[in-house]
Amino acid sequence: MSKYTVAEFFYRFRTQEPDVNVLIVEGPGDTKFWSLLAPSEVRNNSTIMAVDAVEVTGPNNNGSKERALELARLLVGTDLSDRVKIFVDADNDHILATEHFQHVLITDYRDIEGYVTTAADLQIIVQASGCSDEKLDEVINAALSFGKIVGLFRAANDDSGAGLRITKTIERNPRRYFQYKDNAPFFDRDRLLASLLGGGAGQGRVDAFRAKLQQLEEHHVATDPRLCVRGKDIGIITAALIRGDRASVDSSLRTCLLCNCTTKLEEANLREAYQHVV
């Protein structure tokens, strides 16, 4: 697929299509979600594009969110900032109270999968993944509560710059940290912390991470887990607890998201992005 330079992107929507509203999303999975939520026949003179369609590089790395936010920065103060909106995963932005430009919308929860982490949706997802009926509720509650803690680990890691390899550590052996113990779901938080901090991070970074983690855990005791939980962590934790196949859990979650997307428009940021294109 050919890409637009930033100049070409501006030219297209300034000169060739001066009345078209644009919604920029992160990647192919997001465009599939939006093609179901706002199919072309209901759009009102608008288009939805993945940021990969534009040759733009983020300041820190080439991740899709960083590139989308760099495009948002380039739009500031231009005549396109009202017609081009950026919709990206929040990641840690809710937890760290990160602010964005007015034309940037973040997911109402941590990521796009957060829209199907309600109890009703998770019942379908976890049951479809092979969980027994008698363990269903406790596995769902554990996936959310354990996932929230891991989400706070991630936020503390990003904010402190500790560089801990959280995803790689958990994915290497998830049952080392998430398991059943004494007939109840158990998260070995201390073991995960020891594994992360034993990975060669300098003492200064470790101290900064610990301080930030303590601050976040104290501040977010009552925070909705969906603001913290990464969708992929739901898959990792659930699969570990039910001793199932993570790919099956991920597939069930994604299918639920795509099938139920039109029922999620009560969420403020999703609704605003939707209204921008219909």
Q: 58 or 200, which is more confident?
A: 58
Whether residues 75 and 137 share a domain: the answer is no
CB 225 within 8 A of CB 145: yes
pLDDT, mean of residues 27-54: 95
Whether residues 193 and 241 share a domain: the answer is yes
Whether residues 10 and 84 share a domain: the answer is yes
Whether residues 208 and 89 share a domain: the answer is no
* Average pLDDT of every residue of the chain: 95
Whether residues 12 and 125 share a domain: the answer is no
Whole-number Å distance between alpha carbons of 170 and 185: 16
- Residue 104 pairs with which residues in a beta bridge? 86
Whether residues 185 and 91 share a domain: the answer is no
pLDDT band for position 150 (cuts 50, 70, 90): very high
Q: Helix (H, G, I), strand (E, B), or coil: what is residue 125? A: helix
pLDDT, mean of residues 7-35: 96
Residue 232 has pLDDT above 70, yes or no: yes
pLDDT of residue 204: 86
- Greatest Cα pair distance, the chain, in angstroms, is 67
Write a three-state SS string for 65-134. HHHHHHHHHHHCCCCCCCCEEEEECCCCHHHHCCCCCCCEEECCCCCHHHHHCCHHHHHHHHHHCCCCHH
pLDDT of residue 61: 64
Write a three-state SS string for 154-185. HHHHHHHCCCCCHHHHHHHCHHHCEEEECCEE
- Count of domains for the chain: 2
Judged by average pLDDT, the poorest of 5-14, 16-25, 192-201 is 192-201
- Residue 24 pairs with which residues in a beta bridge? 49, 86
> How many C-beta neighbours within 10 Å does residue 239 have?
24
pLDDT, mean of residues 252-261: 95
Q: Are strands 178-181 and 184-187 parallel, antiparallel or unpaired?
A: antiparallel
Whether residues 219 and 191 share a domain: the answer is yes
Whether residues 58 and 122 share a domain: the answer is no
Whole-number Å distance between alpha carbons of 258 and 29: 10
Residue 1 has pLDDT above 60, yes or no: no
96-110 per-position pLDDT tens digit = 999 999 999 999 999
pTM of the entire predicted model? 0.94
Domain span at 92: 4-112+264-277
Whether residues 122 and 253 share a domain: the answer is yes
Whole-number Å distance between alpha carbons of 177 and 258: 30
Whether residues 211 and 90 share a domain: the answer is no
pLDDT, mean of residues 43-47: 95
Whole-number Å distance between alpha carbons of 182 and 195: 23
Whether residues 101 and 227 share a domain: the answer is no
Whether residues 162 and 93 share a domain: the answer is no
